[in-house]
Chains A and B, each alone.
Chain A
Amino acid sequence: MLRTSAAIAAGKLARAVARRRGGGSAMPGLVAERIDPKILGHALGGLPDGIVVVSGTNGKTTTTRMLVALLRAHGHSVFTNPTGSNFTRGVISALLGEVGLRGRPVADMAVLELDEAHALKFADAVTPTHALLLNVARDQLDRFAEIDHTAKLLAQLASRTSTGVVINRDDSFVARSADGVKTGVRVDYFGVDASIAHRLPELMEQDTRLDDDYVVPPAGAGDVLLKPRDERAFVILLGADGVGGSVGPVELKQRGLAAMINATAATAMARQLLGGSFDPVRAASALASVTAPFGRGEVIDADGAPLELVLVKNPAGFTVALSTYGSTPVRTMIAINDNYADGRDVSWLYDVSFESLRTIGVALTSGVRAYDMALRLQYDEVAVDAVEPDLAAALDRFLAARDGQPARIFCTYTAMMTLRRILAERYDLPAFGEEATS
């Protein structure tokens, strides 16, 4: 314990320094981890009501926020990693803000979003009591075997969870994880009601999802299903045909089918955790109150008018981003780089439909592949006013001509880092560290 206290003290100091400098969120975690590699286990091991890991390719941050809101609405005090820093060091950094020197957070449960690889690293340090497995999508097109590999990582996470898992029943890659859970571990599913199952391909990659051997199982009493009413409102059915009641109708602050599915996933996990004390009325109001997370429409006050930065990194993610933000047309820029961290192959842009941008067009495309992006938009009959590969020059043009109107930039990872750095200098924003990788 002494060692943990020393690690926490050093980490807290590093955190205070980093805050003053406006630095990243991972460094203090690194400092603390160096001094006490077991700090996670020491700090989180004793939480009485559970340690929940949320993992999968898309929607981790949103789902985690929703789950935390649901649990807090039911009176729990919940520790989470709120910045979207889905690496173990980010979790430790977040911990440093909330623990005393003895190392215990003032919480009775933890809900942590972790990417697939870090979820396993985390499980090495602390056994999760619960795991919520969202989906598997292609992230880096360069790495061919990734989907299968990612699915295996999630299956391993499920197999190392002690009490309960909640699994996406519509995603054959994720659904396989149910096979490996320990005996006695409860398995529940979330998914979509049959009435909208035809819309799932929008969110998934067809070429990899045609596993003939996989048939979506009939819904059980523990399963939780999404049933939209219209573009904005939906209900969440508890059990097949809502035999266990329902949550909603709910309208989220975030738009789009993906956000509704995230809400369904969070509800399924909350119901498993809360059991008999789960209250559908409280759940509905908690979901309705959740705001869009950082990096999924981070809003920067740029000369008195909002500028949104939206990270896009794969076809499913871009499609979700367009359905979430694209239906409120504002002045738009798209910045596409093809460095390793972006994915070197830009083919994936043709697996996204940009038709929702037709009404207002795109003011500028930028980045190393600015012309490829403009070409892609041309094939979807979206007007492009200008192409400027240089990000700084593009940002200047984009902001100069907007007349105080709100604006939005969709960008790949390294383009976002460059743009964010320029904006941070210009508008005196805190810099950000690992959080943008979520």
Chain B
Amino acid sequence: MSEESTKGEVHVVHLYPREMSIYGDLGNTRAMVSRLTRHGYSPVLHQHHPGAPFPEQAHLVLGGGGQDSGQARVEADLEVIAPRLSELAAAGTPMLMICGMYQLFGNAFVTVEGKRLPGLGILDVTTQGNAKRMIGPVVLSTDFGDVVGYENHSGSTRLGSGQAPFGTVRSGFGNNGEDQTEGARTGNVVGTYLHGPILPANPAFADALIGYAAELATGRPFEPGTLDDAFADQARTRQVRRLVG
């Protein structure tokens, strides 16, 4: 398909696919590329690896979770691309950061020993490392409807005073297991602990991000195609019913 016959190119950047995409987070990228195509756009996927130049065009940025070793390997690169990411975020570029990358997008991560590791500060959240792991299936209420996923994290995250969460916990732990908040959202940047992966099973949320990206890429409002999401809807509603009745 030539560019003329599609609704336009949308550049998708997957941050650190090797180091930071544990627990099926690659499925988010797969879902975005597939849905963009089915909506009639031409996705251009950039895999950003540590040390490589950041892609010139970026309309949608995705990042996932990793083990501590993976996190350590991306920190230096993240410092290099931080100004670009902040600039893109301020310009309304949709971003979805899962688990480890969500933590790195916050103000800081405080280790169990009390060491403070600074983050990008794009989201006003602070994460405290702790021994207790929060693991299990999750159901949230969000601006994008019910969202289901699976959390697996030991960091306990607190929102800054003006920071909006991504959703309210109906089943599961969320940011810290105490205040019913899950994730964080500033403009079009969303951080969340939800694996699952989150986007395939929650197409309304996926298409919201695609909508922001398409508008940014083409300068025109999002022109969605008609997608069959029957499997996703069944998968999601069954999880909601199982977990919250």
Q: Closest Cβ of chain B: how far from A16's Cβ, in Å?
A: 44
Interface size of B as a range: 35 or more
Flag if A347 contacts B24 (CB, 8 Å): yes
Flag if B23 contacts A347 (CB, 8 Å): yes
Flag if B67 contacts A379 (CB, 8 Å): no
Cβ-based interface call for A207 (8 A): yes
Q: How far is the CA of A349 from the CA of B30 in the complex (A)?
A: 12
Flag if A371 contacts B26 (CB, 8 Å): no
Cβ-based interface call for B92 (8 A): no
Within 8 A of B (CB), among A205-221: 206-208, 210-212
Taking a contact as CB atoms closer than 8 A, the residue among B19, B136, B200 that contacts A376 in the complex is B200
Residue of A nearest to B136 (CB): A344
Q: Chain A, 2-15, contact with B by CB distance < 8 Å: what is the 0/1 string? A: 00000000000000
Q: B22: which A residues are within 8 A, CB to CB?
A: 207-208
Q: A347: which B residues are within 8 A, CB to CB?
A: 23-25, 27, 150, 195-197
Flag if B19 contacts A379 (CB, 8 Å): no
Residue of B nearest to A351 (CB): B24
Q: How far is the CA of A202 from the CA of B121 in the complex (A)?
A: 36
Taking a contact as CB atoms closer than 8 A, the residue among A141, A142, A207, A375 that contacts B231 in the complex is A375
Residue of A nearest to B203 (CB): A375
Q: Closest Cβ of chain B: how far from A15's Cβ, in Å?
A: 40
Q: Closest Cβ of chain B: how far from A377's Cβ, in Å?
A: 9
Interface size of A as a range: 20 to 34
Cβ-based interface call for B224 (8 A): no
Q: B200: which A residues are within 8 A, CB to CB?
A: 350, 375-376, 379
A208/B67 contact (C-beta < 8 A), A347-B23, A348-B24, A379-B27 known? yes
Flag if B31 contacts A379 (CB, 8 Å): yes
Q: B238: which A residues are within 8 A, CB to CB?
A: 371, 389
Flag if B234 contacts A379 (CB, 8 Å): no
Cβ-based interface call for B232 (8 A): yes
Cβ-based interface call for A405 (8 A): no
Cβ-based interface call for B66 (8 A): yes
Flag if B152 contacts A142 (CB, 8 Å): yes
Q: How far is the CA of A188 from the CA of B232 in the complex (A)?
A: 49
Flag if A210 contacts B24 (CB, 8 Å): no
From DSSP, what is the main secondary structure of chain A's interface residues? helix
Q: B137: which A residues are within 8 A, CB to CB?
A: 344-345
Flag if B152 contacts A144 (CB, 8 Å): yes
Q: How far is the CA of A376 from the CA of B66 in the complex (A)?
A: 22
Q: B150: which A residues are within 8 A, CB to CB?
A: 344-347
Flag if B21 contacts A207 (CB, 8 Å): yes
**Max chain A C-beta neighbours (<10 A), residue from B27, B73, B136:** B27
Q: A344: which B residues are within 8 A, CB to CB?
A: 136-137, 150
Within 8 A of B (CB), among A370-394: 371-372, 374-376, 378-379, 384, 387, 389
A212/B73 contact (C-beta < 8 A), A345-B152, A350-B26, A378-B231 known? yes
Taking a contact as CB atoms closer than 8 A, the residue among A207, A374, A384 that contacts B18 in the complex is A207
Cβ-based interface call for B133 (8 A): yes
Q: How far is the CA of A376 from the CA of B133 in the complex (A)?
A: 27
Flag if B152 contacts A210 (CB, 8 Å): no
Cβ-based interface call for B235 (8 A): yes
Flag if B195 contacts A206 (CB, 8 Å): no
Q: Chain B, 66-102, contact with A by CB distance < 8 Å: what is the 0/1 string? A: 1101100100000000000000000000000000000
Q: B19: which A residues are within 8 A, CB to CB?
A: 207, 210
Cβ-based interface call for B34 (8 A): yes
Q: How far is the CA of A348 from the CA of B26 in the complex (A)?
A: 10
Q: Chain B, 23-48, contact with A by CB distance < 8 Å: what is the 0/1 string? A: 11111001100100000000000000
Q: How far is the CA of A379 from the CA of B203 in the complex (A)?
A: 12
Q: Closest Cβ of chain B: how far from A148's Cβ, in Å?
A: 9
Q: Closest Cβ of chain A: how far from B196's Cβ, in Å?
A: 6
Q: How far is the CA of A211 from the CA of B19 in the complex (A)?
A: 10
Within 8 A of B (CB), among A300-354: 344-351
Q: A232: which B residues are within 8 A, CB to CB?
A: none
Flag if A210 contacts B26 (CB, 8 Å): no
Flag if A387 contacts B18 (CB, 8 Å): no
Q: Closest Cβ of chain A: how far from B54's Cβ, in Å?
A: 20
Residue of B nearest to A347 (CB): B24
Q: How far is the CA of A350 from the CA of B27 in the complex (A)?
A: 5
Q: Closest Cβ of chain A: how far from B187's Cβ, in Å?
A: 27
Q: A207: which B residues are within 8 A, CB to CB?
A: 18-22, 66-67, 70
Cβ-based interface call for B135 (8 A): yes
Cβ-based interface call for B159 (8 A): no
Cβ-based interface call for B214 (8 A): no
Within 8 A of A (CB), among B202-235: 231-232, 234-235
Q: How far is the CA of A372 from the CA of B165 in the complex (A)?
A: 26
Cβ-based interface call for B147 (8 A): no
Flag if A387 contacts B135 (CB, 8 Å): no
In the assembled complex, 7 residue pairs joining A and B whose CB atoms fall closer than 8 Å, in A order, are A207-B67, A208-B22, A347-B24, A347-B150, A375-B231, A375-B235, A379-B30
**5 new A-B contacts at CB < 8 Å, known A142-B152, A344-B150:** A207-B20, A207-B70, A346-B150, A371-B234, A374-B235
